[in-house]
Chain A
């Protein structure tokens, strides 16, 4: 069974902290994505990666960075957390490198609260 695992379901951090959100997929997928989901704003793409060591900015990359050192792991980094980064963060993956017309598999999400 396919699986995208996000390391934490709930996370509480303080303003200014450096925050790491981890995502691991066990399906040998090439593509990985980070979205945030806020009420009334829907799913918005933060960063994505079509290959190891490769990363591309999505629609709202400001205040975030990512790391993909291994194919199965895609980390989202909040360099200095701010209250407006309180959100549900969803990681997703898909199979074929660069193909964006295929099914996305989502992790269960991390609800991050920045106080």
Chain B
């Protein structure tokens, strides 16, 4: 059974701080890694994808992947109250559908 683990939170950070969200996965054959954001009452939307070890930056968001340690993280710089949401980590192995973690709830305090 492929597993994707996330701390459920809530993770509370002050406005302007860096929010760090972490995810670990069980299958060493995992190849593709995604972060989805889900606002309360809304459906998930993709914010970042990463496929190789290292960092990938997109605006205020940075995804970090370490396959040897089997973790992927998402950093949100200059956190805003509008970043308050649940962040879902999703992992892909081969041609099987994505496996989602249970999500981490982030709260950015103004």
Residue ranges of A at the interface with B (Cβ–Cβ < 8 Å)? 33, 35, 40-45, 48, 58, 90, 98-101, 103-104, 106-109
Contacts and interface: CB of A to CB of B under 8 A. Distances in A.
A48 to B, nearest CB: 5
Nearest to A44: B100
23 contacts: A35-B100, A40-B8, A40-B102, A41-B102, A42-B101, A42-B102, A43-B44, A43-B100, A45-B97, A45-B99, A58-B97, A90-B44, A100-B32, A100-B92, A100-B94, A100-B96, A101-B31, A103-B49, A104-B36, A106-B44, A106-B45, A107-B43, A109-B43
Interface of B: 8, 31-32, 34, 36, 42-46, 49, 51, 88, 92, 94-103
Q: Which label, helix, strand, loop or mixed, suits the secondary structure of the A interface? A: loop
A13 to B, nearest CB: 21
Nearest to B8: A40
Nearest to B44: A106
